[in-house]
A and B are shown apart, each in its own frame.
Chain A
Amino acid sequence: MCRIGAIKSKNYIHPCKALQLMQSQQKGHDNSGFAMVMQDLGGIFEAYKDLPTLSMACTDEGLKIAEDILHEAGFRRVLQWVPETFPSNDLDIIAMPNYVFETFSYPRSYNKASVKEKEELLLDMRLKMRKALEPEERGFVYSFWPDVVTLKEIGDPKDIGTFFNLWQEDGKFSAKVITAQCRQNTNYDIVRYAAHPFFLQGYTALANGENTFYQKNKEIQAKLHRGYIGFESDSQCFLYTLHYVHRQLGWPLPYYKHVVTPLPFDELSKRDDAEQLRAIRQSLANLELNGPNTVIGVLPDNTLFTCCDAKKLRPVVVGRTDDTVVISSEVCGINEILPDRAWNTDIYPNEREIVMIDDSLEVVRWKQ
């Protein structure tokens, strides 16, 4: 089983908070891995918010191949951060030789390019590197995007934390939004790419649950966008649908819920917007989700949200203080890092709701 968590704060927070959030729920997951996406970065990355950062785990050869690809395309490295690691035989971790976090400047030819053009370029570069590193598992490119850092590893989350010295809070490595999950993909093969959170062009998604419409989702998504690849896990579909609805179609977030858990026809036809909702339901029937699941997502503007399947078969809770909001599968995770909050303001979203937290940490709840 998965447990998922997310923290959004007005202040920069260190990943140790994410580890604490997940550690208290460890009975619920199987301690088989740790993955997190950090967005809105502080510390050493704070000064480079507009420039893309590459997050990658690789062999020496893989590193060279990836860097060559970027250099050839005109990217120039402006920052490199290699986390200090603390290997030990006592640690349960299947580590890669290198963990690379490098920030690059855009090619000169993109000086006058629009944001959209740059975003398409970044995706193309990531896909190119991913493909080049795939043979012999020379490396895993998790993200290449401004203001975003991704870490994924196989092993015991506690040990992974120790390996990267993440239990120790410092000012170098922090972010205002962190999403995390503590399980490798146990449904299918153990592949590094298969651990959520998944990231694509500013969108992050992670999910606790299963997607029984995986094949349907996968078959249509594979033709919808060049970035919809991999499908190592049924949860990737959650991200791709979010990206498609919000970015490609340009529909506001509430419609994501209408796509993944459409209202039953009976209910839908009684509404003022029945015509639009029916059109959405029929045109995007292949993106519907079935099965028990809770999704946590992050939008490119760092808006955080959560929603559930249409029958609320998986739990999720939102807790908050004035400067921090935490979303977690289990309330014990929130108790761990926000022990002094007013717990009676915790939100247990229902099956028809989206709970959204914007940059001012205002919590908005929509009923579908």
Chain B
Amino acid sequence: METIKIHDTTPNDLPWKIVYDASRCTLCGSCVAACSFRAIEPKIEKRRMVFSEGDLPDPRARFSAVPVIKQVNSLKNYCRGCGICEKVCPNDAIRPVRNPDTRHPIVTRCIGGDSIKRGGRKNLTGSTRTLDQLRVGRISQMTDPSLDAQRHTFDMLAPFGRILPAKDLPLAVGPDGKLTTTGQAPPVNWIYPVIIGDMSIGALSWRMWEGVAMAVAYLNEECGLPVRMCSGEGGVPVRLLKSKYLKYLILQIASGHFGWNRIIKAMPDMVEDPAGVLIKIGQGAKPGDGGLLQAQKVAEHIMAIRGVPKADLLSPPNHQGLYSIEESVQKMFLSFNAAFKFRVPVAIKVAASATSVSVFNNLVRDPYNIVGGFFLDGIDGGTAAAHEVSLDHTGHPIVSKLRDCYLAAVQQGRQGQIPLWAAGGLGKTGDLAADAFKMICLGANGVFSGKLILQMAGCVGNDMGRCNACNTGLCPAGITTQSPALAHRLNPERVAENIVNYFLAMDQELKKMMAPIGNSSLPVGRADALVAVDQAVANRLKIQYVC
């Protein structure tokens, strides 16, 4: 008999337990080979079988050694519940089961003495999602006919760039009664109202990035949907910078300034302007936490693109030397508007916060009209690696904050001057069209989404703690990894196909929501089209309560 060693890690301390049926297992080894976390291993178990032969009881014992698959009892190589072993097992002999009695959050901290990190997912579930308590309740009928989603044309585009109030437009009436342009206005690009969120090339495998880029090119050139993707911090392959596809890309700069060196150097060779520049001040999934690319993910091409050695790459939680909103405005103004000779709109991305409205007001009132978009990122989204405590406990929900910003602009008669783009858990239920549409009615010009794109590509993670290993470089789906073996699990063509098809479906669904409210262009700020089934939500968002 073994004595109890209470401090040993065993599967019942871990978040997932492996259920294994030796009688079905053929020992093909597929699961062990496929588990990127090395959370299972082949082992030999000793078996004792008592048997009796003959007419009278004559118990004897036989010992045998049986090869089996066993869960690794380790806090380093613990099972993430990704289910890849189950996927590859031809005999249904193995599967992970969630362990509700896990002691993992405690023992990991006790043993490691370090904060827990994981892939960006919010795993703290609260009440019903606000967006699910809203319905599109204003239905056009009778005197105000609804439109036909199949037959009518819809103009579903959103602005990226600073919009001047009409009285400040550089227009004058010419002698022929036509308006002529008398000066320069800030650049504005009209793009699809869903941007593929900023996921860096370091965070994603090159095959994933290739798949996304392919999808974007296809959506633009074959489907007529001007979808843009944001590069994320960390630079862009030089080949792409010099290609005509740059026009579909929004370049991001964040506090680490990774990759900007190369971008600036590539400028003389650019044949197209990028779709925009997005300055990331904060992100909603882990506000106050900078970017974190762990050394195991810094592959050779990442080192080349970013111009860095193989080491943990940390983007500081704020821009160095950034002490005020005014300074951030200045910084944008000086660097990026000028860098692209005022042809490329520059926007700012911040984490939603109790103070977002003040930040927004400052930008709206900036007299230079240079902020070309306010990207507001709430909790519940995120794809990146971060500290678990930040992911779970910091941040601000997006819905009311977006509404507050919109209403603050209305209050000043400045709605629409700085386009509002919102993100943070949108499409969490898999239905991005409905979420996007409701956000637009509440005042967003458009939305951006990253996590859902991963899910389109084949990510097996979810918001209930499944997988969430994007930080480890061991992504079992080949999405957030730089390991060639894992990345090859992912088929870039299929990634592109899935994203394209999802966007086409979503486009149909957006039209299906615009048709009944009788609008052929996006109903930005049409909160009158929404009703809430919850009184508190209705009051907070200033929309009609229904029951």
A positions within 8 Å CB-CB of B: 1, 209-210, 212-216, 219-220, 222-224, 248-252, 254-255, 262, 264-265, 273, 275-276, 278-280, 282-286, 288, 290-292, 310-311, 313
Q: Any chain A CB within 8 A of the CB of B67?
A: no
| Inter-chain contact A279/B518, CB cutoff 8 Å | no
| Inter-chain contact A279/B185, CB cutoff 8 Å | yes
User: 1/0 contact trace for B524-545 toward A, CB 8 Å?
Assistant: 1111100000000000000000
| Inter-chain contact A264/B155, CB cutoff 8 Å | yes
| Inter-chain contact A290/B180, CB cutoff 8 Å | no
Q: Which residues on the A side are within 8 Å of B179 (C-beta)?
A: 251, 255, 273, 276, 280
Closest residue of chain B to A211 (Cβ to Cβ) is B144
Contact with A1, one of B143, B165, B412 (Cβ below 8 angstroms) = B143
Closest residue of chain A to B168 (Cβ to Cβ) is A283
| Inter-chain contact A311/B520, CB cutoff 8 Å | yes
B143, B412, B519: residue with the most chain A Cβ atoms closer than 10 Å = B143
Q: Any chain A CB within 8 A of the CB of B177?
A: yes
User: 1/0 contact trace for B510-524 toward A, CB 8 Å?
Assistant: 000000011111011
| Inter-chain contact A265/B526, CB cutoff 8 Å | no
Distance (Å) between the CB of A222 and the closest chain B CB? 8
Compute how far the CA of A268 lies from the CA of B155 in the bound complex, rounded to whole angstroms. 12
| Inter-chain contact A219/B181, CB cutoff 8 Å | no
Known: A255-B179, A264-B155, A276-B180. A290 touches B518 (CB 8 A): yes
Q: A1-B143, A214-B528, A286-B415 are in contact. List 10 more A-B contacts (CB 8 A).
A: A210-B143, A220-B410, A220-B416, A265-B155, A276-B180, A278-B188, A280-B179, A283-B169, A290-B518, A292-B518
Known: A279-B185, A290-B520. A284 touches B166 (CB 8 A): yes
Distance (Å) between the CB of A242 and the closest chain B CB? 14
Compute how far the CA of A257 lies from the CA of B528 in the bound complex, rounded to whole angstroms. 25
Known: A212-B518, A282-B159, A282-B188. A248 touches B167 (CB 8 A): yes
Closest residue of chain B to A223 (Cβ to Cβ) is B413
Q: Any chain A CB within 8 A of the CB of B152?
A: yes
| Inter-chain contact A252/B173, CB cutoff 8 Å | yes
Contact with B171, one of A262, A276, A292 (Cβ below 8 angstroms) = A276
User: 1/0 contact trace for B403-419 toward A, CB 8 Å?
Assistant: 00000001011011000
| Inter-chain contact A220/B415, CB cutoff 8 Å | yes
A/B interface sample: 27 pairs, CB < 8 A: A212-B144, A215-B528, A219-B415, A220-B413, A220-B415, A222-B413, A223-B410, A223-B412, A252-B177, A254-B177, A262-B521, A265-B155, A265-B157, A276-B179, A278-B190, A279-B171, A282-B163, A282-B190, A282-B416, A283-B163, A284-B166, A285-B159, A286-B416, A290-B523, A292-B143, A292-B518, A311-B147
Which 6 A-B pairs give the minimum distances between C-beta atoms? A223-B413, A210-B144, A215-B528, A283-B166, A276-B179, A252-B177
Closest residue of chain B to A244 (Cβ to Cβ) is B166
Q: Any chain A CB within 8 A of the CB of B178?
A: yes
Q: Any chain A CB within 8 A of the CB of B328?
A: no
* Interface residue total, chain B, C-beta cutoff 8 A: 42
Closest residue of chain A to B514 (Cβ to Cβ) is A290
Compute how far the CA of A276 lies from the CA of B178 in the bound complex, rounded to whole angstroms. 9
Contact with B145, one of A252, A285, A313 (Cβ below 8 angstroms) = A313
| Inter-chain contact B524/A285, CB cutoff 8 Å | yes
Distance (Å) between the CB of A350 and the closest chain B CB? 16
Distance (Å) between the CB of B185 and the closest chain A CB? 6
Contact with A216, one of B188, B190, B524 (Cβ below 8 angstroms) = B524
Compute how far the CA of A313 lies from the CA of B415 in the bound complex, rounded to whole angstroms. 29
A212, A220, A262, A280: residue with the most chain B Cβ atoms closer than 10 Å = A212
Closest residue of chain B to A279 (Cβ to Cβ) is B169
Distance (Å) between the CB of B406 and the closest chain A CB? 10
| Inter-chain contact A249/B517, CB cutoff 8 Å | no
Q: Any chain A CB within 8 A of the CB of B296?
A: no
Q: Interface of chain B, helix or strand or loop or mixed? A: loop
Q: Any chain A CB within 8 A of the CB of B153?
A: yes
Compute how far the CA of A351 lies from the CA of B164 in the bound complex, rounded to whole angstroms. 28
Q: Any chain A CB within 8 A of the CB of B99?
A: no
Distance (Å) between the CB of A136 and the closest chain B CB? 30
B positions within 8 Å CB-CB of A: 140, 143-145, 147, 152-153, 155, 157, 159, 163-167, 169, 171, 173, 177-181, 185, 188, 190, 410, 412-413, 415-416, 517-521, 523-528
Q: Which residues on the A side are within 8 Å of B152 (C-beta)?
A: 311
Compute how far the CA of A265 lies from the CA of B224 in the bound complex, rounded to whole angstroms. 12
Q: Which residues on the A side are within 8 Å of B173 (C-beta)?
A: 250-252
Contact with B178, one of A264, A273, A290 (Cβ below 8 angstroms) = A273
| Inter-chain contact A265/B190, CB cutoff 8 Å | yes
Compute how far the CA of A233 lies from the CA of B167 in the bound complex, rounded to whole angstroms. 26
| Inter-chain contact A286/B517, CB cutoff 8 Å | no
Q: Which residues on the B side are within 8 Å of A219 (C-beta)?
A: 410, 415, 525
Q: Which residues on the B side are within 8 Å of A291 (C-beta)?
A: 140, 144, 518-519
Q: Which residues on the B side are within 8 Å of A284 (C-beta)?
A: 166
| Inter-chain contact B526/A215, CB cutoff 8 Å | yes
Distance (Å) between the CB of A260 and the closest chain B CB? 12
Q: Which residues on the B side are within 8 Å of A252 (C-beta)?
A: 173, 177-178
| Inter-chain contact B166/A280, CB cutoff 8 Å | yes
Compute how far the CA of A283 lies from the CA of B171 in the bound complex, rounded to whole angstroms. 12
| Inter-chain contact B519/A286, CB cutoff 8 Å | no
Q: Which residues on the B side are within 8 Å of A310 (C-beta)?
A: 520
Compute how far the CA of A252 lies from the CA of B171 in the bound complex, rounded to whole angstroms. 12
Compute how far the CA of A313 lies from the CA of B95 in the bound complex, rounded to whole angstroms. 59
Closest residue of chain A to B172 (Cβ to Cβ) is A250
B155, B180, B523: residue with the most chain A Cβ atoms closer than 10 Å = B155
B147, B166, B177, B526: residue with the most chain A Cβ atoms closer than 10 Å = B166
Known: A273-B178, A283-B169. A213 touches B153 (CB 8 A): no
Q: Which residues on the A side are within 8 Å of B165 (C-beta)?
A: 283
Q: Which residues on the A side are within 8 Å of B177 (C-beta)?
A: 252, 254
Q: Which residues on the B side are within 8 Å of A215 (C-beta)?
A: 525-528
Contact with B166, one of A210, A214, A249, A254 (Cβ below 8 angstroms) = A249
Q: Which residues on the A side are within 8 Å of B190 (C-beta)?
A: 265, 278, 282
| Inter-chain contact A212/B167, CB cutoff 8 Å | no
Compute how far the CA of A286 lies from the CA of B445 in the bound complex, rounded to whole angstroms. 12
Q: Which residues on the B side are within 8 Å of A255 (C-beta)?
A: 179
Q: Which residues on the A side are within 8 Å of B185 (C-beta)?
A: 279
Distance (Å) between the CB of A36 and the closest chain B CB? 22
Known: A219-B410, A283-B164, A311-B152. A212 touches B181 (CB 8 A): no
Q: Which residues on the B side are within 8 Å of A286 (C-beta)?
A: 415-416, 525
Q: Which residues on the A side are within 8 Å of B171 (C-beta)?
A: 251, 276, 279-280
Compute how far the CA of A188 lies from the CA of B164 in the bound complex, rounded to whole angstroms. 34
Compute how far the CA of A236 lies from the CA of B173 in the bound complex, rounded to whole angstroms. 27
Distance (Å) between the CB of A48 and the closest chain B CB? 32
Distance (Å) between the CB of A282 and the closest chain B CB? 5
| Inter-chain contact B167/A290, CB cutoff 8 Å | no
Q: Which residues on the A side are within 8 Å of B147 (C-beta)?
A: 311
Q: Which residues on the B side are within 8 Å of A265 (C-beta)?
A: 155, 157, 190
Q: Which residues on the B side are within 8 Å of A212 (C-beta)?
A: 140, 144, 517-519, 526
A209, A273, A285, A292: residue with the most chain B Cβ atoms closer than 10 Å = A285
| Inter-chain contact B521/A288, CB cutoff 8 Å | yes
